[in-house]
Structure 1
Amino acid sequence: MRGPHNLWRLIRTGATLERNDAMGVVLEAFNAPTIIRIAARGLGKPFKWLGYKGDPSLPPLLSALDAMGPAYVKLGQILSTRPDVVGEDLSRQLKILQDRMPPFPREVAIASVEKELNIRVDDVFSEFSEPVAAASIAQVHYARLRDTGQEVAVKVLRPNIERNFRKDFDAFYLGAWVIETLSPASRRLHPRAVIEHFEGSVRGELDLRLESASASEYEASTQGDEGFRVPKMHWKLSDRRVMTLDWAEGLSCNEIEKIDAAGHDRRILAERILALFLKHALHNGFFHADMHQGNIKIAPDGYVVALDYGIMGRLDAYTRRVYAEILYGFIRKDYRHVAEVHFEAGYVPMDRDIDEFASALRAVGEPILGMSAGDISMGRVLSYLFEVTERFGMETRTELIHLQRTMVVVEGVARSLYPDINIWDVARPVVEGYIKQNIGPRALFRDMSRTLRILSHFGPRLPEIAQTFLAEQQRPQRPPEPPKHAANWLWFVAGAALGAAMIAGLSRL
């Protein structure tokens, strides 16, 4: 990871940043300490002439990233969703990188499809267009199936993209290691964990079979959502480097004039996008984690169509409950409860003062909840919240960042459609619905039923466990303390019995 070739790539990265006048932008955005500034300048200035020259029409950092290739463009796209790391201004700049890469030739895409699927394109497709969209990892072609006439989208990976990304990741890890080593204060943001998260996301995108599986799961989990659609997969025409799914006709979210001309109500669309994202995250636990404007279309019938499933988020049931209670606490202005949830979940160290933390959360919530609808910003909420949690020793949690940064992007899309959208009014019914279903007597009944079902699988072993426990009790050379595993089982059995009694009582309510 830290070989000479990676050091060379790191030097060339610094040189490119210097040559495009972007080094100062990066150092300021990250509020880099003096030691990091000295090291960065040392890696860049003496070798400035080795750096790549970018597009002068772009802002300095975007020009540098664009010049260094797909991996750096993708990193910029990921960082555009991390205002907690790069700041709001730079986050907005980096969004320009979305879908900026030049396409590769149609003939190269056709050759890749034929090799990967072992077919002749002309035998399967009656049409196969020039690229209609090109991103840092893959590009999309419009096509039509010869046998059925079905319109489809064919996504094809860029040539040699896997090898190029592998080389750049090594340099990214070296850079993160250098930052953590020279700046202990940076460790709270976990630079290496950010790169690991980035690598995990990209590796999923570099194998289109994984994205195909995500698309299929997402389509299945959202079938009942009114006003929302995910195109169906064509598994026989998909593999590691090729993915085929139904063509989605519609307007991009940034085509405001065309959306108005088509007669769509932008307020309804904005509220639908925001509410459905929250529903997918809280109720389903599986959500689209890259919902920028380029990945959302408005169909002629007014349905919202989600595209590109390379980056998906997943939350377990416990985490969803924690987040729902935090959101609900802010909505109700119950800051003491929000603080308690943070402590109970282990997000904030137990040695901190809970009353002080609740007071700090009030300073986050009150000014924002008192704003007019058009001024409320989830980005501002998160910015303040990160300041508070940092002060109270809360470490950055990857899954929390994943959800929150996507929320910022979704809010931006919704606000571009309808600037006066009130995110709290939209969030309230979704969160309340989740709370009603998952916290309270019904949820307790359901959870205990699951516990008893699991316990029933181990029923035949309970006599043996009890016998082992009793035998251990009879041994005089040992204190009358049960073995740890047996004691745990007995407590589990006792808890299950108590749970069964509670269920029986609740069922009579």
Structure 2
Amino acid sequence: MKYIRLIYIIYILLKYRLEEFIIFNRKLNLLARFISIIFFFRPHNKNRGTRLRLALENLGPIFVKFGQLLSTRRDLIPLDIADELALLQDQVPPFPYKDAEKIITGSYGKSLDKIFKSFDTKPIASASVAQVHFATLHDGKDVAVKILRPNIKHVIDKDIKLLYLIARLLELIWSDGKRLRPREVVAEFYKHVQSELNLMLDAANCSRLGENFKDKKLLIVPEVYWDFCNEDVMVMERMHGTPISHVETLRKKKINIKDLARNGVEIFFTQVFRDSFFHADMHPGNIQVADDGRYIAMDFGIMGSLSENDKNYLARNFLAFFKRDYHDVALAHIESGWVPKDTSIDEFENAIRSVCEPIFNKPLKEISFGRLLIRLFQTSRRFNMEIQPQLTMLQKTLLNVEGLGRNLDPDLDLWETAAPFLKKYMSEQKGIKHIIKSLKNEFPHWLHLTPKLPRLIHEFLEKSNSQNKNVMTKDDFESFLKSQRNQTRWFKIIITFIGITLLVNLVILFYFIK
């Protein structure tokens, strides 16, 4: 089946005359000209951006998401294509209302009028995996109803299998294939897409993000109505806002655009470094702005998370970049295992410097982070640097954030805006508050382990003694005496540890009681 799908993809590429996009290689350019001559009978009545958008829509959700990402990168692609691809964000052709009604009634086991007081038959937004209708509950609450597309799980599974096939081919025919670990990247992407196919997970993500930003100072998250949610349908509070891409409308509403851009950066870094949980699908179709200038988050199907190690590593690298400490950047890569241990730090440091130094002290409008990533990618090949699949969603989101920032305020300096936040985070990681927090987290484990320490020490000593009961030579006897001295030293260390542990437990217990 996946080979049939591959043939279909080739058919769509030919149907919409997309061979004109492969002009980066002379041989491929000749191939494109040859194809144009052979298939001369195809119509010419649509521009290239429209044809690309229609092709992606025909190829399905995975390809639509790729188009969504491209639409935010106006520094990398022509504006006519970016404008057309922007329509993929929330204007994918909707599925019929009859299908929506069938899914809802099948999910609830009730007729539509028993569930909702009113239900708009025309969707307000239609995306690659689901579409949204406005409705009113019988208690008068205005809600947004998100409904999965019919048969979407089967379609996604087919495309993921095809991506695995392409990934395996890349590993075989491309020199960088194995280093870039394309199959692991596909697996990571599939893991996140799976959450989009279960709207109960979508609702859980929404609820968790709302709890993280419950102060609602910068970000508003809709309330989830759990009694009306299941795997195929999600019901949440209806939000009222302006799409973030409608900049002129925001200006007419007297929204401070520069503050809006800075707040977006702060929200992103707060999600990543404070919460380790971030919205990983931040294209303009998923972000609105309230009339008071606060952000409104929409669509919680794809969320990312980071481990403490990944988070600390990223913060260290960001701050090293801000300080232009490329030696620390190189050292962090080596210590994390991202590049081989035998890598020359001096050579790697100079390579990073050559890529990153030109970007500093420039406004965002003069910096292309897309091209910077390409240059870093080219540099990394010299040092056998491996791609980290667990950070794929973060990298994608960072591109989205940059695209949003560029659209709002081309003069925004992403580094200058983020640096104070990251410095605060790193100071907190080393400060007394972080130590107390860590002690609180470890306290239950220590409390459970402390009564067992005497028995564990006794078992350790018994085992050591049993290993020395055999008949010994002079050398063995000297070794035995040495081991006894070591054992005594360890015993003192363990007793000291017990004392410190008990003291810390008492301090923490006093802290809790207080």
Structure 2 residue matching 1:460: 3-state secondary structure:
helix
Q: Of 296, 300, 318, which residue of structure 2 is paired with 1:327?
A: 318
Aligned partners of 2:447 and 2:505 also within 8 Å: no
Q: Select which of 3, 6, 23 maps to 2:2.
A: 6
Q: Is 1:89 aligned to 2:80, yes or no?
A: no
Query: How many positions carry a matched residue from both structures?
Result: 482
Q: Give 1:263's aligned residue.
A: 254
Structure 1 residues 187 and 495, CA, compared in 2 at 3 Å: closer, same or farther? farther
SS in 2 for 1:429: helix
Q: Does 2:11 correspond to 1:20?
A: no
Correspondence for 1:273? 264
Cα distance per residue 1:264-320 (max 9 Å; x no partner): 111111111111111111111001011111111011222110100111010112211
Distance 1:212 1:494, change over 3 A: farther
Q: 1:141 aligns with which of 128, 133, 139?
A: 133
* Aligned partner (choices 373, 377, 390) of residue 386 of structure 1: 377
Cα shift readout 1:331-357 (whole Å, capped 9, x = no counterpart): 122222222222222222110011222
Question: Is residue 306 of structure 1 aligned with residue 306 of structure 2?
Answer: no
The verdict on how the C-alpha distance between 1:108 and 1:353 changes in structure 2, with shifts beyond 3 A counting, is: same
Residue 56 (structure 2) pairs with residue 68 (structure 1) = no
Q: Call closer, same or farther: CA 1:448–1:124 in 2, change over 3 Å.
A: closer
Query: In the aligned structure 2, how far is the partner of 1:125 from the partner of 1:103?
Result: 21
Q: Which amino acid in the other structure matches residue 369 of structure 1?
A: F
Match of 1:168 among 137, 159, 167: 159
Instruction: State the alpha-carbon separation in 2 of the partners of residues 491 and 58 from structure 1.
Output: 73
Tell me, in whole angstroms, the C-alpha distance in 2 between the residues paired with 1:61 and 1:160. Answer: 24
Give the equivalent residue in structure 2 for 1:157. 148
1:466 matched to which residue of 2?
457
Instruction: Give the whole-Å Cα distance in 2 for the aligned partners of 1:248 and 1:491.
Output: 61
The answer for the alignment partner of 1:245 in structure 2 is 236
Alpha-carbon offset, residue 183 of structure 1:
2.4
Q: Are the counterparts in 1 of residues 257 and 408 from structure 2 also a CA contact under 8 Å?
A: yes
Change (3 A) 1:490 1:292: farther
Residue 485 of structure 1 corresponds to: none
Map of 1:32-431 to 2, 5 A cutoff?
A: 56-59=46-49, 61-77=52-68, 88-89=76-77, 97-129=88-120, 130-147=122-139, 149-431=140-422
2:159 aligned partner, one-letter code:
D
Per-residue displacement from partner, 1:393-413 (whole Å, max 9, x unpaired)? Answer: 210012333212211111211
What is the CA–CA distance in structure 1 between the aligned matches of 2:394 and 2:47, rounded to whole Å? 33
- Give the secondary-structure state (helix, strand or coil) at the position aligned to 2:224: coil
One-letter code aligned to 1:359: N
For residues 47-76 of structure 1, give each alpha carbon's deviation from its aligned partner in whole angstroms, at most 9, with x where no partner exists.
x99xx9999445454443322233432454
Q: What is the distance in 2 between the residues matched to 1:202 and 1:332?
A: 37
Secondary structure in 2 matching 1:141? strand
TM-score normalised per structure 1:
0.83
> Secondary structure of 2:240's match?
coil
CA distance in 1, matches of 2:111, 2:494: 61
C-alpha deviation, 1:172, in angstroms: 2.4
1:408-461 Cα shifts (integer Å, max 9, x gaps):
111211221111111122101211121121134543454355445423322333
Distance 1:26 1:220, change over 3 A: farther
Distance 1:143 1:275 in 2: 33
Conservation of the 8 A alpha-carbon contact between 1:127 and 1:143: yes
| 8 Å Cα contact 1:376-1:422 kept in structure 2 | no
Q: Secondary structure of 1:301's partner?
A: coil
Q: Distance in 2 between matches of 1:96 and 1:9?
A: 25
The residue type paired with residue 138 of structure 1 is A
The residue identity in structure 2 corresponding to 1:89 is I
- Paired AA for residue 423 in structure 1: L
Check whether the contact 1:55–1:66 (CA below 8 A) recurs between aligned residues: no
What is the TM-score normalised by the length of structure 2?
0.83
- Contact 1:53–1:64 (CA under 8 A) maintained in structure 2: no
Deviation string 1:55-105 (CA, Å, 9 cap, x unpaired) is 944545444332223343245446778x8xxx9439958655333421112
- Partners of 1:99 and 1:314 in 2: how far apart? 25
The C-alpha deviation readout for 1:132-177, integer Å capped at 9, x for no partner, is 1101110000111222x21110000111111222223222222222
Gaps of at least 5 residues in structure 2 are: 471-478, 485-489
